[in-house]
Structures are given as C-alpha cells and as structure tokens.
Structure 1
Amino acid sequence: MWDGFFKNIINNPIVAAINDLNKAEAAINSPCKIIFLLAGDIFNIKSIVDRVKENHKLIYVHIDLMEGFSKDIIALRFINENIGPDGIITTRGNIVKAAKEMNIFAIQRLFVLDSLSLDTGIKSIRSTRPDAIEILPGIMPRVTKAIHSETKIPVITGGLISKKDDVIQNLRSGAIGVSTSKEEIWYM
C-alpha cells in the first residue's frame, strides 16, 4: 500500500484531483496513476473507487468531503472496510491518528493561510505523523520547503496549480507530487 503510493508518485508526480464527478472518467483515462477523490456521496463513492481500481490506478478519498458520512472514526472504518480506497485524505488530526491505528494510508491536508496556520499545521503534523501531507494552496514553494524540512514527511501540493511552472517549482521545493483538477496538467 505505502510502496505503491510512493513508487507511483515518484514515477508520475501529477495527481488527478476529482472535484467534479463529471470529470471522473477523464481522470481515470488520464496518464495519472494516482487519483484524489474530492467529491462524492454514500451512493456513488463505491462505484467510483471500483472503477478507478479496475483501471489499475490508486485512489485516495477525501473523507471530509464525502456527503452522507459523518466526519468521524466510524465513517472512516466503514469507508475502509466497505469501499476499499487505497487511503484517505483529511484535515482532521483525530482521523489521521485513527487511520494510522487501522493501518490505512493517511494524507493530512493542510491549509496554510498565514504564519499562525503554518506553525499550528507543523505542530499537528508532528503529532499525527501522517504518511504524507497535502499543502494548499500549492503555489507556495517556500512554505512547501519549510514544512518538509520541519516534518520530514513526504509533501504533495495542491490548489491553484494552473501552469507547468507551478508543477516544476513545487517539485523543486521538495514536494513529491502535485494534485490538480486541471485536466491539461494531468497530461504533462
């Protein structure tokens, strides 16, 4: 599970982020090997996860954004046992800790808005020890470098990535991958 994520993101650092289910097929058919599911609900999440896996891609579900689920450990357990994604994404430290206890690959999403949120985020990450971190917005290479050097946890950047240069700058600053909903970047 962990080896698959890191092997795939090193070989293809662009992650297809699906924030509109109408783009699911485009993401599945893209050259991206990893998909972040940022939209869905209790009625369609299983079919999306199954479709991605049928196409030999990895899928990580942002459980905070799935409609119809509570944002708690029971929902995490249900998603893991009944839907079977390759891992989860969450902003919640308690969910990251629970995922780690359940042996689920956990990506902690961190919004960096100012120096206080940066400091708080680093403290949270040091406490929760996720398998990877997704930093938003992803157009802040200096922040990416600071978080990676402070935590030593693999970093993925996302949010507002719209140009090839955004991808290059983030990878140069220490990110192992870049998530984006921009289809044209999926084909870089």
Structure 2
Amino acid sequence: MGFLENILEDSPIVAAVKDESELEQCLKSPCRVVFVLFGDLNSVPGIVAKLKASGKTVFVHADLVEGLSAREAAVDYLVQTAQPDGIISTRLPLLRFAKAKGLHTILRFFLIDSIAMENITSMKNERCVDMIEVMPGLMPKIVKRVSASCGKPIIAGGLVTEKSDVVSALEAGAIAVSSTNIGVWSM
C-alpha cells in the first residue's frame, strides 16, 4: 500500500477547497488530505504552507492555478515554490513530469460517456498515475467498474454532498471521496 493509500484508509474524506473561506474551515476539519482547487502564482505557495503547517497532505490541482500553463515549467514552479505533496491534473504529460520530480500524482478523469470508460482502463499500465479521481462521484455502479478495471486506487469526487453518497462510493470500491461540501468533511 502506498503513502496516500495509507492516509486515506484512516481518513477517507478529502477536503477539496476552492476559496480562502473554505481553506480556513479546512484547517479546522479532521480531513488529513486536501485538494487545492484555487489560487494563483502568488498565493499557492502560502496556501500550501498553511495547510502543511496544520499537518495536512496537500495536492495542488495544477490545471486550476491561475497563471500556470499546461507545461512542465508549471510543475517545476510548484515544486520549487509551493512544495506540495502531489499534483492533480487532467493532463498525463504534467503527471509524468510531476512523477519524475518525485511528486505523488492523481489523474482527474471525467466519466461522461462509454468512450471515457474505455479510455480509463488504459490507465492500468500508466506508471505516472498513482490514483484516479473519477467525476462525478455519484455513480457507485461506475465507480465499481472503474475500480475493477483500471488497476489504480479510485477517489470519487464531484457532487458528493451527503453521507449516503460517501458510503455508496466507498462500498463501490473507492478508496476515498473528495468534496467541496464543508459538511462532508466532518463525516
């Protein structure tokens, strides 16, 4: 079992923060893993530092940081200035580079049709991907299929707002659930 899997086994709710107000609430939450879904070149290093000082494991969604491009230089910038524990992206080249830099990686994957379902199974042999966050996370039947076919730990995210959503995703095989809903963070 890997570094992140061990943490998520004990604390399967991931706080996905999208603004400063949520950041402050996240610092008080029992969540041990945080997905940073906001910020810009100037603010992300401080956001990560604040979270890490609170003992959180921090993943920055590189695609959502204002001022960064979808290039290797973006990962270099994050490594040098923010020092997150890992990167989230929808772009495999960024994850490959991040993995080479020693970061943990999460591929965010939107399951919108049967073609996407076919594509996700090809991630089984993709060494640069540590985990896959499937969105939306309210599809236990699909989470179960993905978990069985892609060979990577699954995080269910998107539209998760109730305890029953969390339980359904975990029972379907997700290792964790990410949510921007503050009420979910304390479940």
In which range does the TM-score fall when normalised by the shorter chain?
over 0.9
The aligned amino acid for 1:59 is V
Q: Distance in 2 between matches of 1:108 and 1:161?
A: 18
Cα displacement (A) at 1:24: 0.5
Q: Distance in 2 between matches of 1:57 and 1:107?
A: 17
Partner in structure 2 of residue 81 of structure 1: 80
Q: Verify: 1:136 aligned to 2:135, yes or no.
A: yes
Partner in structure 2 of residue 113 of structure 1: 112
State the secondary structure of the residue aligned to 2:25: helix
What's the RMSD between the two structures over aligned residues? 1.4
Partner in structure 1 of residue 12 of structure 2: 13
Q: Distance in 2 between matches of 1:22 and 1:40?
A: 12
Cα displacement (A) at 1:122: 2.5
State the secondary structure of the residue aligned to 1:134: strand
State the secondary structure of the residue aligned to 2:126: helix
Partner in structure 2 of residue 28 of structure 1: 27
Cα displacement (A) at 1:74: 0.9
- Please identify, of 4-13 and 136-145, the stretch whose mean Cα deviation from structure 2 is larger: 4-13
Contact 2:105 2:128 survives alignment (8 Å): no
Please give the TM-score of this superposition, normalised by the length of structure 1.
0.94
Contact 1:93 1:124 survives alignment (8 Å): no
Contact 1:106 1:131 survives alignment (8 Å): yes
Give the 3 Å change call, closer, same or farther, for CA 93–150 of structure 1 in structure 2: same
- Please identify, of 149-158 and 93-102, the stretch whose mean Cα deviation from structure 2 is larger: 93-102
Q: Could you report, residue by residue, the CA deviation over 1:84-116 in whole angstroms, capped at 9, with x for unpaired residues?
A: 001000000111211222221000000000111
The aligned amino acid for 2:31 is C
Spell out structure 1 runs of 4+ moving beyond 6 A.
none
Contact 1:133 1:156 survives alignment (8 Å): yes
Please give the TM-score of this superposition, normalised by the length of structure 2.
0.95
Q: Distance in 1 between matches of 2:41 and 2:124?
A: 29
Gaps of 5+ in 2: none
State the secondary structure of the residue aligned to 1:156: strand
Contact 1:36 1:61 survives alignment (8 Å): yes
The aligned amino acid for 1:163 is E
State the secondary structure of the residue aligned to 1:153: coil
Pairwise mapping of residues 121-132 of structure 1 onto structure 2 (< 5 A)? 121-124=120-123, 126-127=125-126, 129-132=128-131
Gaps of 5+ in 1: none
Q: Distance in 2 between matches of 1:78 and 1:115?
A: 36
Q: Distance in 2 between matches of 1:100 and 1:129?
A: 6
Cα displacement (A) at 1:127: 3.5
Partner in structure 1 of residue 145 of structure 2: 146
Aligned residues: 187
Sequence identity percentage: 34
Contact 2:15 2:179 survives alignment (8 Å): yes
